Amino acid sequence: MKIGTFVTILGLFLVLMSCGCVEEEKSSSNATETKAMQVSTVSTNAETTSSYSVDFDLRNMVGFNDNAITANDIEEFIHEKYPSSPMLNEANIGTCFIVAGQSNNVNPAFLVATACLEGGFGTLGWAASHPECHNTFGYGIPNGSTSPDDFNCMDSWCAMVQKVASVIAHGTNYYSQGRYTISQVRAKYAADPNADSIASLMNELYTFSINHKLASLSTSIAADQTPTTNVQAHPVSEEKIVAGTLLQQLNCSQYRGVWSVAFSPDGNKLAASSYEGPLLIWDIASGTELQTLETYDFYGFRLAFSPDGSKLAAVTIGSMGRILIYDVNSGEKLQWIDHWAILPAFRPSGTELVTSDGDNTIYIWDVIRGTNLETLYTETNRTMAQAISLDGSKLAACNYDERTVSIWDTTNGVKLQEIELNHPADFAAFSIDGSKLALHSMLRDEISIWDVKSGTKLREFNLKDNSGSRLSPLAFSPDGSKLAAVTVGSFDKILIYDVNSGEKLLDLKLNSTLKQLLNGPYAIAFSLDSSKLAIGQNDGYVPIWAV
């Protein structure tokens, strides 16, 4: 019998059992029925999803579009295969695999399988002999006696995951040469392990993830069925954190207000720029200020962490321009570039920074040397809003007069798409993989989501019930499932929408004791695991909410 069939029968059996409960047990019965239906849904998805094969196109996000494979599943899989893997000592390594894969359009399961079969998640062969290189992919290692160098070594496991994904997507040997399938990529990458082994392990990861979910749900159902007595027990346990819970409140009110916020890739740190002071970096869990970074009398910064979290880029948006690059751990200023810019984004390599001047020019910078590598000119003028994708590969420019949105490839300056609007857009935001673009029009009181490739509108959210308010910038959650906005004015709220269904998941009024706002919140950012939302406020407070 298939696993899915067995668990479906188990779920229906438990639903039938719950139907005989007495009146005071109905709520428990309903919960059990819901969980049983979840088991049925998971098992159905497991049977209907296509398997990975050697001809599988790695640009297809099977297993991740529907969250069949989660970051926790990947970490549990690593532990199952190699319990002593040093990768497990690095926070959020599962999230790193998913973010690296999705942002580079390389199926993350392929990265996991390669990391496992090439170097046993850091426990075998060259990977174990040179732990300082964090290379479990065999990348840049022709043989076992290869010496460590800048080519085959990175500062962290996450940085190496990012590098391998970037090389496949943007290097000269794979996607750029039309090599998209597992067999095509592995034939060029390395003959051993072969494509069949990689595809087999990807399927193993998928099956492991489904079984992991089934086991969790079945355990939960079994717990619901445990007989209870009238004796009141008061066990000490962690309270489940629900959406809308205030997790932390950071304070830089002595510097008047917050202009921009950004989470580090590992989700442990938050950076914020202020109106009249330095850049600050906090440890989120403790609320401890880790770094105070001097900005040399400039203010109004947008921020971006490098993919490995080791560097922080800050750009001014005032009349005088600076691009500043800092070492996150030491606080040292690595680069000072005299240039006016409004949007920064690191390329996946972490050595190049993409910026926009807010009008019609895109600049590519060498982060190490502080030099301009390339300047690309677009045809966009009088832009009301701009957005840059996480990997810096796409720029969206909203033309106020023409009521259009132009999307540009920042690698070559080619216009990828032009979307005609009925009303001008005031804010824009890319999804983490760059496949979707969210726009807000204050004239129409609506948010719309567009498919970047086809230029078609996917969904629209009407905001008329928040009339009298205006929006702060938008933000997609990294897993692509949520869209966040903060209304300010008559109504100060956090609004979270389900991207696929359009359902409003959270409508939270901001706490008046925290606000003391001049013009409302200015900045929002999701953590990379999509569980937290930070809001930079004009009063200098940065509340972090569970979402």
pLDDT at 352: 92
Q: 149 pLDDT band (50/70/90 cuts)?
A: confident
Residue 380 pLDDT exceeds 50: yes
Q: What does the alpha-carbon distance between residue 465 and residue 449 come to, in Å, rounded to a whole number?
A: 19
Q: 511 pLDDT band (50/70/90 cuts)?
A: low
Query: Quick one: average pLDDT of 487-512?
Result: 76
pLDDT at 360: 74
Name the percent of the chain lying above pLDDT 90: 28
Residue 80 β-bridge partners: none
* CA atoms in the 13 A half-sphere facing the CB of 116: 25
Residue 300 pLDDT exceeds 90: no
Tell me what percent of the chain is helix, strand and coil, each rounded to the nearest 5.
30, 30, 40
Q: 11 pLDDT band (50/70/90 cuts)?
A: very low
Residue 458 pLDDT exceeds 60: yes
pLDDT at 71: 86
Amino acid (one-letter) located at 428: A
Peptide bond into 227 cis (omega under 30): no
Least confident of 16-30, 271-285, 310-324, 446-460: 16-30
Q: 479 pLDDT band (50/70/90 cuts)?
A: confident
Query: Quick one: average pLDDT of 266-284?
Result: 87
Q: What does the alpha-carbon distance between residue 242 and residue 247 come to, in Å, rounded to a whole number?
A: 10
pLDDT at 226: 40
Question: Are 400 and 424 a contacting pair, CB within 8 Å?
Answer: yes
358 by DSSP, 3-state: which? Answer: coil
**Residue whose token pair is 């921020």:** 303
Measured at the alpha carbon of residue 160, what is the angle toward residues 159 and 162, in degrees to the nearest 5?
Answer: 65
Q: How far is CA 533 from the centre of its chain?
A: 12
Q: How far is CA 155 from the centre of its chain?
A: 21
Residue 192 pLDDT exceeds 50: yes
CB atoms within 10 A of CB 530: 19
More confident residue, 216 or 260: 260
pLDDT at 298: 64
Taking the chain, what is the end-to-end CA distance rounded to the nearest angstrom?
Answer: 39
pLDDT at 178: 93
Query: Quick one: average pLDDT of 416-436?
Result: 87
Q: Is CATH 2.130.10.10 correct for 245-546?
A: yes
How many H helices and E strands in the chain? 10, 29
Mean per-residue pLDDT of the chain? 78
DSSP string spanning 289-332? Answer: EEEEE--TT---EEEEE-TTSSEEEEEE-SSS--EEEEETTT--
Question: Are 356 and 388 a contacting pair, CB within 8 Å?
Answer: yes
Residue 486 pLDDT exceeds 50: yes
Residue 246 pLDDT exceeds 70: yes
CB atoms within 10 A of CB 190: 17
pTM: 0.58
pLDDT at 161: 92
Q: Note the pLDDT tens digit of each residue in 218-229.
A: 444 444 444 333
Give which of 365, 358, 360 is closest to 392, Cα–Cα. Answer: 365
Query: Quick one: average pLDDT of 299-313?
Result: 86
Residue 86 pLDDT exceeds 90: yes
Question: Are 350 and 311 a contacting pair, CB within 8 Å?
Answer: yes
Residue 231 pLDDT exceeds 80: no
Residue 492 pLDDT exceeds 70: no
Q: What does the alpha-carbon distance between residue 270 and residue 241 come to, in Å, rounded to a whole number?
A: 20
Q: 215 pLDDT band (50/70/90 cuts)?
A: low
Amino acid (one-letter) located at 315: V
Domain spans in the chain, listed from the N-terminal domain onward: 245-546
pLDDT at 212: 67
